[in-house]
Amino acid sequence: MSTAILETRGLNRSFGAVTAARDLNVRIDTGEVVGVIGSNGAGKTTFINMVTGYLPPSSGEILFEGRSIVGQKPRQIIRSGMTRSFQVAQLFPELTVLDNLLIALVAAEGPRPSFFGGLRSRERIRRADEILDEFGVVRYRDTVVRTVPQGARKLVDIAMALIGKPRMLLLDEPTSGVSVEEKFPLMDTVMAAVRQHGVTVLFVEHDMEIVERYVSRVLAFYSGEIISDGQPAAVFADSRVQELVIGHGHGHVTPASQRSAA
């Protein structure tokens, strides 16, 4: 049996009367690319927030590479090798792209990062330039983030999550706010980078065309529960998923396999 990189057992989270996560038992193996779908308020971000240390679960266990991480702070989890991006990019808008990357790199280093050579040490800059190149955003290296176009800004945000070479990456709606023309090139770039480095990926996505094209497995959330878990074709064919996820909410794109030829 392959090794689970991430496992949750009986994970629960309530906000007052709202159950945002109910008995989530998820096991993700090294190398999987997992898509998380579900209508607005289904509990997708809550799940990511719990496993990355931004939100304590009400109860339950979270194991990363076999070790419990419940109660750890986000920065500890980042340093142990699991990073994320946010539904709304968390960049320092007044700093350059390069400085944003350097800050992310320091955050991913040990508890006492070396400041020999300063924040902008030659080694850190080399790594930042390497990932700028890999993500095709070298031209924005010295641009203040505030003025970088949205699609490139998304790429920088994801590059920040990958710069410290995590073993697992979680993305909350990587293509939200990205134009139709940019979304596939963006995902091609991100997926090429994660494949190259053998990073396990889980991403939340409303766009079923993206899910269908890039993932090997889908988790469908509804009302804090996982109502379907399997290969994309099987999950999309599930009647509850069709009723509660695909035919529901705003702006959802029907997967090609579910569209009639009409």
Ligand X SMILES: Nc1ncnc2c1ncn2[C@@H]1O[C@H](COP(=O)(O)OP(=O)(O)OP(=O)(O)O)[C@@H](O)[C@H]1O
Q: Which chain residues interact with ligand X by CB under 6 A?
A: 15, 18, 20, 38, 40-46, 87
What proportions of the chain, in percent to the nearest 5, are helix, strand and coil? 40, 25, 35
- Smallest gap from Cβ 65 to ligand X, in A, equals 25
Q: Which range, of 36-44, 73-81, 98-106, 163-171, touches Mg ion by CB under 5 A? A: 36-44
Q: Which range, of 39-47, 117-125, 152-160, 194-202, touches Mg ion by CB under 5 A? A: 39-47
Round to whole Å and give the CA distance between 96 and 208.
Answer: 33
**Pick from Mg ion, ligand X, none: which does 40 bind, CB < 5 to 8 A by kind?**
ligand X
Spatial contact of 32 and 211, defined as CB atoms under 8 Å apart: no
**Pick from Mg ion, ligand X, none: which does 46 bind, CB < 5 to 8 A by kind?**
ligand X
Which parts of 58-117 interact with Mg ion (CB under 5 A)?
A: none
User: What would the two tokens of residue 83 be?
Assistant: 């990073």
- Smallest gap from Cβ 13 to ligand X, in A, equals 8
> Can you tell me which of 8, 45, 85, 200 binds Mg ion, judged by CB under 5 A?
45
Question: What would the DSSP string read from start to end of 8-49?
Answer: EEEEEEEETTEEEEEEEEEEEETT-EEEEE--TTSSHHHHHH
Query: What does the angle CA 162 – CA 82 – CA 129 come to, to the nearest 5 degrees?
Result: 15
Smaller CB separation from ligand X, 21 or 132 = 21
- Smallest gap from Cβ 225 to ligand X, in A, equals 11
Task: Count residues binding Mg ion (CB under 5 A).
Answer: 2
Question: What would the DSSP string read from start to end of 218-239?
Answer: EEEEETTEEEEEE-HHHHHH-H
Smaller CB separation from ligand X, 9 or 22 = 22
Spatial contact of 5 and 34, defined as CB atoms under 8 Å apart: no
> Which residue in the shown chain puts its C-beta closest to Mg ion?
45
Residues that bind Mg ion (CB under 5 A): 44-45
